[in-house]
Amino acid sequence: MIIKMTWVVTYWGRCLSRLGAGWKALCQFFSNLSKPFRVAIRNIFLLTGWLFTTAATLVAQDVHFFRIATGSVGTTFFPLGGVIATAISNPAGARGCEQGGNCGVPGLVAVAQTTQGSVLNVMAVATQQFESGLSQADVALWAFRAEHIFKGKTPLENLRVIASLYQESLHVVVAADSPIRNIQQLIGKRISLGEKDSGTNATALAVLEAYGIDDKKANFSNDNLRSALESLRGGSLDAIFVVGSYPLPALVDYTQTASIRLLQIDGEGATILRQKYPFLGIDVIPEGSYRDVNNAVTLGISTLWVTSAEVPDDLIYKITRALWNTTTKKLTDSNNPIVRRMRFETALSGIPIPIHPGAAKFYSELEKTNPQ
């Protein structure tokens, strides 16, 4: 039907003598249309035929779609998710790994989708709205135990880890000429904690709590990073919390036209945090990451790729193997500087919740093959 209809709209001038009365009338109708209308209708039929053909091919080849919840545009999670999706995908018809093509899971099509960040991601993964997602380690633990911002909610005990990807850094940003010199001086100030369902929001609340600051002692708001930076520029915000891998693209852009400082996470508050959450590391955002900004001692937070216990072991095993494939890693490293920080040696570091059995099988087999 589709092929015949396409033939009609493409060759209506020659089909009148070859078809029955119904098709003949249709051909005459097309012939009387103006050329732009004929071209538009022909294209619609061609597209419809392509969609039907593609859909039939996908069904026949048993394609498996695998969604990755990432973060908002301008954060490190969004581009990272896109690189991972490309690395683990291997749709039908693509060149195989042996031919220099994709080394992903055969028949798998992974898709990275924007979200508000870690908090939404772990909830969506646990309820199987997404097959996987990126999350800060602290947020994953709080969700798993129903602590902190998840207190009073059902523990998300089906969360599982595929890999610890790399360490992110907490940035606490103030204007370069601000009188604020440390976290304690944020009392009474206007502070952006990131978007409501982001990991930054959850981490910022935990940090401020450790320093004895709550919403009664400061004015909190939830903003995306670019909006918060414009408010900082305009003087309607005093400080911004953001978790991400340095250098953050949005901050780099901002510092081309404005000057900032980064507050240190140190002293008694930092000690309290690390005692309560041992998986939080000490990190240093190095001088030169942003224009005219000195070294800043801060918190290091592992970025986890999480899934749910309900996702089949065999699929996660294949995905984990594809993620750490040597050929794949060379390709991903060349596409994104953040991805270069992903190292197999730290794939099991800073993980506070269970590892998925499929991923655990891969790591166990590799350890037996390559003992230290």
Q: The tokens of 61 are what?
A: 């080849």
Least confident of 50-54, 81-85, 196-200, 343-347: 50-54
Q: Please determine, for residue 35, whether its predicted confidence score (pLDDT) is greater than 70.
A: no
Q: Please determine, for residue 54, whether its predicted confidence score (pLDDT) is greater than 80.
A: no
Q: What is the pLDDT of residue 47?
A: 46
Q: What is the pLDDT of residue 282?
A: 87
Most confident of 34-38, 296-300, 364-368: 296-300
* Stretch 313-321: mean pLDDT: 97
Q: Please determine, for residue 17, whether its predicted confidence score (pLDDT) is greater than 70.
A: no
Topology given in CATH for the domain delimited by 64-369: D-Maltodextrin-Binding Protein; domain 2 (3.40.190)
Of residues 50 and 285, the one with the higher pLDDT is 285
Q: What is the pLDDT of residue 126?
A: 98
* Stretch 103-108: mean pLDDT: 92
320-362 pLDDT, tens digit per residue, is 999 999 887 776 666 667 778 888 999 999 899 999 999 999 9
Q: Please determine, for residue 59, whether its predicted confidence score (pLDDT) is greater than 50.
A: no
Of residues 62 and 116, the one with the higher pLDDT is 116
Q: Please determine, for residue 215, whether its predicted confidence score (pLDDT) is greater than 80.
A: yes
Q: Please determine, for residue 173, whether its predicted confidence score (pLDDT) is greater than 90.
A: yes
Q: Residue 198 — pLDDT band, cuts 50, 70, 90? A: confident
Give me the chain's average pLDDT, please. Answer: 84
Q: What is the pLDDT of residue 372?
A: 52
* Stretch 112-124: mean pLDDT: 94
Contact, 19 vs 65, CB < 8 A? Answer: no
- Percentage of residues in the chain having pLDDT higher than 70: 80
Q: What is the pLDDT of residue 34?
A: 53
Q: Residue 286 — pLDDT band, cuts 50, 70, 90? A: very high
Q: Please determine, for residue 10, whether its predicted confidence score (pLDDT) is greater than 80.
A: no
Instruction: Using alpha carbons, list the distances in angstroms from residue 325 to 133, 158, 292, 314, 332.
Output: 20, 27, 38, 16, 10
Q: Residue 32 — pLDDT band, cuts 50, 70, 90? A: low
Instruction: Using alpha carbons, list the distances in angstroms from residue 204 to 10, 143, 188, 214, 242.
Output: 62, 16, 16, 10, 8
Q: Please determine, for residue 308, whether its predicted confidence score (pLDDT) is greater than 90.
A: yes
Q: What is the pLDDT of residue 331?
A: 67
Those residues whose C-beta lies under 8 Å from the C-beta of residue 359, and which sit 6 or more positions away, are 160, 161, 162, 163, 316, 317, 320
In angstroms, the CA 260 to CA 129 distance is 39
Question: Where are the chain's structural domains?
Answer: 2-60, 64-369
Q: What is the pLDDT of residue 370?
A: 65
Instruction: Using alpha carbons, list the distances in angstroms from residue 255 to 156, 200, 249.
Output: 39, 20, 10
Q: What is the pLDDT of residue 218?
A: 97
* Stretch 25-48: mean pLDDT: 49
Orientation of helix 77-88 relative to helix 326-335, angle to 10°: 150
Q: Residue 153 — pLDDT band, cuts 50, 70, 90? A: very high
Backbone angles phi and psi of 266, in degrees to 5: -145, -175
Q: Residue 3 — pLDDT band, cuts 50, 70, 90? A: very low
In angstroms, the CA 340 to CA 20 distance is 64
Q: Residue 196 — pLDDT band, cuts 50, 70, 90? A: confident
* Stretch 82-101: mean pLDDT: 83
* Stretch 42-48: mean pLDDT: 48
Q: What is the pLDDT of residue 45?
A: 44
Q: Residue 92 — pLDDT band, cuts 50, 70, 90? A: confident
3-state SS of the chain?
Answer: CHHHHHHHHHCHHHCCCCCCHHHHHHHHHHHHCCHHHHHHHHHHHHHHHHHHHHHHHHHHCCCEEEEEECCCCCCCHHHHHHHHHHHHCCCCCCCCHHHCCCCCCCCEEEEEECCCCHHHHHHHHHCCCCCEEEEEHHHHHHHHHCCHHHCCCCCCCCEEEEEEEEEEEEEEEEECCCCCCCHHHHCCCEEECCCCCCHHHHHHHHHHHHCCCCCCCCEEECCCHHHHHHHHHHCCCCEEEEEECCCCHHHHHHCCCCCEEECCCCHHHHHHHHHHCCCCEEEEECCCCCCCCCCEEEEEEEEEEEEECCCCHHHHHHHHHHHCCHHHHHHHHHHCCCHHHCCHHHCCCCCCCCECHHHHHHHHHHHHHCCC
pTM of this structure: 0.75
Please give the span between the terminal C-alpha atoms of the chain, in angstroms, as a whole number.
Answer: 63
